[in-house]
Amino acid sequence: MEIKNNLILALDVLSGKKAIEICNQLTEYIDTIKIGYPLTLAEGISIIGILKEKFDFKVICDYKVADIDATNSKICNQTFKAGADAIICHGFVGSDSVQACFNSAKKYDKELFLLTEMSHPGAKEFLQKNADAIAQMGVDMNIKNYVAPATRLDRLREIRNIVGNDAYIISPGVGKQGGDAKKTLKYANAIIVGRSIYESDNPKIACENLIKTLK
């Protein structure tokens, strides 16, 4: 995936109106947004098509799909039918569940991102212990796209080592969660940034300033 300025906006706002207002200010800087349950539950899945039509952005759906294979297929199919360019699935559920997501992505000619280790502190309790194995499972399954944390650069580097340089890693945790944008991009292809842009008094300036730090 080609992502402008290697920056993905995480649009966890709670109304379509707010989402459009923020996107309107950022079209110069971004071409890819990530939406998750907050906006989808507030507005319905049609928000994907609405944003795509208005802005021609690539939309990554952060639905962290984590069910049995049959249910994962349905979730992914519905998401791609609604216009998503990519979906994020969890890896801890195992290869059959992930394969169902991968098959759906292939069927719709869209992308799947495999979530390895999460960025928040709680990820150390259970997920971190298995994150390397989850990344290796992705490699064995021929998955090209991954999500790995900006908050622990040692872990991000390790996951990069496992998935290899040809893999595409997107990384959340920059800004509010403490991660550094430029350092993260040493190992990740793109950063995911939410609150430090959309909660800012001036999202456009916040975005512009962030991009300046990447140079």
Whether residue 159 contacts residue 134, with contact meaning beta carbons closer than 8 Å, is answered with no
Residue 62 a catalytic site member: yes
| Residue 195 binds ligand NUP (CB under 6 A) | yes
Shortest distance (Å) from residue 38 CB to ligand NUP: 8
Distance of CA 201 to the CA centre of its chain: 24
| CA-to-CA dists, residue 142 to 112, 136, 212, angstroms | 11, 10, 35
- State which H helix or E strand residue 107 sits in: helix 95-107
Contact pattern from residue 3 through residue 42 relative to ligand NUP, giving x for each residue in contact according to CB under 6 A and a dash for the rest: -------x-x-----------------------x------
Q: How far apart are CA 62 and CA 53, in angstroms?
A: 19
Other Cβ atoms less than 10 A from the Cβ of 66: the count is: 18
Which one, 70 or 187, has the nearer CB to ligand NUP? Answer: 187
56 is written with which tokens? Answer: 């021609």
Shortest Å distance, C-beta 140 to ligand NUP: 22
Does 131 bind ligand NUP (CB under 6 A)? Our answer is no
Per the residue annotation, which of 18, 52, 54, 64 is the catalytic one?
64
Q: Catalytic site residues?
A: 62, 64, 67
List interacting residues with ligand NUP (CB under 6 A). 10, 12, 36, 62, 118-119, 147, 149, 172-173, 175-177, 192-195
